[in-house]
Every structure is written in C-alpha cells, then in structure tokens.
Structure 1
Amino acid sequence: MTDFHNDRDAERSTHFGYQSVPESQKAQKVAEVFHSVAAKYDLMNDLMSAGIHRLWKRITIELSGARVGNRILDIAGGTGDLTRQFSRIVGPTGEVVLADINASMLEVGRDRLLDKGVSGNIRFVQADAEKLPFPDNHFDVVTIAFGLRNVTHKEDALRSMLRVLKPGGRLLVLEFSKPTNALLSRAYDVYSFNILPTMGKLITQDADSYRYLAESIRMHPDQETLKAMMSEAGFERVTYHNMTGGIVALHRGIKP
C-alpha cells in the first residue's frame, strides 16, 4: 500500500505557467528560467516596472517593522534589494539571511552586495522555501518578494515560514496579483503577453522565460485566496495592500 501511495504522489502534476508538468520537475524548470535571466535580472525589473518595483519593496520594508538587532530572513532574495536595506536597518547586532533556491540568483546577489561593501551582517543560504533549513522560532521577520508564485507547494512553504518565525514575528509576501480594474486588467494582459516577451528577447535573448513569468502571474492565487491560505497555515491578523491597481499586492501576517 505504501509503494502504491508513493507512486501516485510521484505522478501528481502541477502548473508551470500554463503547462502541466510533474511536480518533481517544476523546481528544475523554474531554476532554468532564473539561471537564464539572472545576469540581467535587475535591468529587466527596472524596465518591466518602469522602476516602480523599488517603491513596492520600500513599502514592504516599512511595513515589516524591522528594527535594530532583528534577525530577518529574505526568501527568494535574488539580487539582494531587500537584504541590502534590511542589513542597514538591523545594524551590526542583527542578521539578515538572503536565501534563494537558485544558485545563479544567489551568486548574483552575493556578488552585488559584496561589490557594494554590504556583507558584515548577511549570510547567504541556498534553501527551498518548502523546507527551510533554520530552527523553530528563529526570525523576527520573514519576507518573500516575487517568489511565492514559483513555489510548487505554497501551503507547505507558508507553514515552513510560520515555523521559523518567532511568536509575534511577521511574514510579508510581496507578489504580483490581480488588477482590481477591468480596463487595467485588459491593458496589463496586452503588455504581459505581447510586450514583455519581446522585451525579454531583446535584453536577455530569452522570450520564453518572460512568457513563463506572465503565465505564472496569472496562475498565482488572487488577493483573497492568498489571504485565506496564510490564515489556514496559522498566521493571524492577515491583511493585504494593493499597489499599482492590484498588479502587485503585499500580504502581511503575524505568528501567534
């Protein structure tokens, strides 16, 4: 019976953009996307959002409540935008862990921060959000910016984040979401499926990765669904803030 159950688990499918793939293959496919775009990731973020992603991240930091001496985990930290600011806030008595499942992104982030002279209170850890390799009740703040939609089992990741937070600790999920205006939604679709892949091809010679980006955003849970998922995982006082008309939403939850 156990062998039969394991066989069934191995055959389960999940979405990779609009494709259906075996769950065991999704992490590798996502890794290939980010390996392809890592070197031009920051440039593409600035072009795709006209620089607005910096404002979204600044609001995330403000609502995190980070303080001097805090211990902070930045999951899917990529090229280190949030980590750099958190490092400045927590100071020499605090610690920031930049974690990413993708070695290419982690390397780019580490090199970028070292080049800027930011390293004293930062650790770099290659880690899977679903199975975080940290002790229980360890962090004051956990953030994941534009990473949750790429996780295969989002519920497992949310429970893992809850586990490593201290009681009273805060999780902030910054992610693309669902526009609240029908006209904006239509314009956003045209941009996502026509302009974005073309831009990706011109800048990174990779249209497919940015086509996946657009598809993965559409497959991600909407604002209310993600709020319910966070509550189900055990977070309390879960709220969200729509930004840029709901194109991006910032969810916040507290560990009881």
Structure 2
Amino acid sequence: MADQNTTHFGYREVPAKEKESHVAKVFDSVASKYDIMNDLMSLGIHRLWKRFTIDKSGVRTGHAVLDIAGGTGDLAKKFARIVGPSGRVVLADINASMLEVGRDRLTNEGFGGQVEFVQANAEALPFPDNTFDCITIAFGLRNVTNKDTALADMARVLKPGGRLLVLEFSKPENPLLTKAYDTYSFTALPVMGQLVANDSESYRYLAESIRMHPDQETLKGMMEEAGLSLCQYYNLTGGIVALHTGIKA
C-alpha cells in the first residue's frame, strides 16, 4: 500500500513527486498515435462511450465547459458545437505533447478559435471558483497522482448546480469478462503498442494503471467526499468503462 509520500505508477510504487514525470514520458511517447490506438484498443467503442458522456452532460448553448486531460480534443470539439459562439470551451491537459496534438487537430478542423487550450494540472486548476457549468475528464483521472485533491479542485471551479463527469476504465461486472479483459489487456495491448506506436511499455503501463484505479463504488464515494451530490455511475460495456456523474450543490 502506497503511503502519503509514494503512489502507484502502474504496478510499481514510486515517490509521489515523481509520478507526474513518469506519466509525462508515457504520453510524450504515445501522443502522435493516440487517436489511432484508441480506435484499435477499443474497436472504436470509445466513440460511443464519449457520446454517452456528452448526452449525460446537460450542456447547452452558452455554457462554459472544461475538458480536463482533453488530449486530442474529441470531447472539446463536440462541446464547442453545442455551446456555440456564446459559450466557452477550455481543453486542459498537463502534457504539452498531447495539448499540441489537440490544438493542431482542432485548428485544422476549424475549432482553433472557439476552444481555449490550457496546460494545467488537475490538482491545481488555474481558474477562479464557480467558473464552469460542466467539467469532464475522460480516461485521465487514473493518471492523476492525488485523485482526492483533483476531485476537490474540480468541484471548486464548478458553478453551483454544475456537473462533473468522470469517464474512466473501471471494474467489469462479470468474472468471465474480467478474465478475458485481463488477457486482452496484458497481451494484445502491448503488442499493438509496439506495432503501431513502437512502444510496448507505455501500453503495459496503461493496462496496469486501469487495474490500480478505484472501483465504481469507491470512486463514487470519493466524489461525494469532494463535496459533490447526487453522485451516480453508469457501467458501460459490462463495466469495462464507467461514467460517474455528480452535481455541485
């Protein structure tokens, strides 16, 4: 069990102050191939998971939206279309390589002037209290060193009545699915990573980081501890992924 000075990087225990740099190296390595690997790893299903997140967000014209760990901009682009010119969309990512890929992609697709790009740590968001109507973090929370601190800061920058949505890999409900998923994660993912991104170790870390992430009920409790109410979760694809939602009172 990691103490306050250490944390998990995959299955390894590392000094907490070093995790951020370890994670940065992973995403520096995979940034240029991130989108194609997402499609390969999930067989394209990640698009349905993200669509479900958009549908549950309640975002509408004129809203202010923050997408943390926004990477290559899948969610930010969809939110920009919804909120329109009167709204605001901020794509934040701690990793400069991922942020650059997202900025280039959205600029090329005509959204560069509508989306703001901010390099930011989820544990210390550079925004005033009560700023956003909606905050999303998709497949990023498991890479955060101190998840409790990050969730509390997300709650801080939400407006009263605002909604936090956490889309993340989780714990499958069926033991047979768990076994098949483990086999896939620890054999196929590193091989795909080597073939497509020339990097098997980063994808081995990603598989391990999923296993170290809190399960559905634990994460729900963490969101409640951060001050969010009406917290609930939706298991997607048998619980391989879960969407957690909470409201700031």
- TM-score with structure 2 setting the length: 0.98
Q: What letter is aligned with 2:199?
A: D
Query: Do the aligned residues in 2 keep the contact of 1:75 with 1:145 (CA within 8 Å)?
Result: yes
Query: Do the aligned residues in 2 keep the contact of 1:92 with 1:120 (CA within 8 Å)?
Result: no
Query: Do the aligned residues in 2 keep the contact of 1:97 with 1:124 (CA within 8 Å)?
Result: yes
Residue equivalent to 2:85: 92
Residue equivalent to 2:204: 211
Residue equivalent to 1:53: 46
- 2:237 matches 1:244: yes
- TM-score with structure 1 setting the length: 0.96
Q: Unpaired runs of 5+ in structure 1?
A: 1-7
Cα deviation digits, residues 130-189 of structure 1 (max 9, x gap) = 000000000000000000000000000000000000000000000000000000000000
- 2:97 matches 1:104: yes
Residue equivalent to 1:79: 72
Query: Do the aligned residues in 1 keep the contact of 2:133 with 2:163 (CA within 8 Å)?
Result: yes
Q: What letter is aligned with 2:39?
A: D
Q: 1:195 aligns with which of 184, 188, 192?
A: 188
Report how far residue 245 of structure 1 moved: 0.3
Report how far residue 121 of structure 1 moved: 2.2
Q: 1:114 aligns with which of 107, 118, 130?
A: 107
Q: 1:170 aligns with which of 160, 163, 183?
A: 163
Corresponding residue pairs, total: 247
Report how far residue 38 of structure 1 moved: 0.1
Residue equivalent to 1:140: 133
Residue equivalent to 1:32: 25
**Distance in 2 separating the partners of 1:38 and 1:199:** 15
Residue equivalent to 1:224: 217
**Distance in 2 separating the partners of 1:69 and 1:157:** 26
**Distance in 1 separating the partners of 2:112 and 2:13:** 40
Report how far residue 118 of structure 1 moved: 1.1
Q: What letter is aligned with 1:109?
A: G
**Distance in 2 separating the partners of 1:193 and 1:49:** 14
Q: Partner of 1:131: helix, strand, or coil?
A: coil
Query: Do the aligned residues in 2 keep the contact of 1:72 with 1:96 (CA within 8 Å)?
Result: yes
**Distance in 1 separating the partners of 2:58 and 2:21:** 34
Query: Do the aligned residues in 2 keep the contact of 1:75 with 1:144 (CA within 8 Å)?
Result: yes
Q: What letter is aligned with 2:134?
A: V
Query: Do the aligned residues in 2 keep the contact of 1:173 with 1:252 (CA within 8 Å)?
Result: yes
Q: What letter is aligned with 2:215?
A: D
Cα deviation digits, residues 225-250 of structure 1 (max 9, x gap) = 00000001100000000000000000
Give the root-mean-square deviation of aligned CA atoms.
0.9
Higher-Rg structure is 1
Cα deviation digits, residues 79-133 of structure 1 (max 9, x gap) = 0000000000000000100000000000000000001111232100000000000
Q: Which runs of 4 or more aligned residues in structure 1 lie more than 6 Å from their structure 2 counterparts after TM superposition?
A: none
Q: 1:156 aligns with which of 149, 169, 193?
A: 149
- 2:49 matches 1:66: no
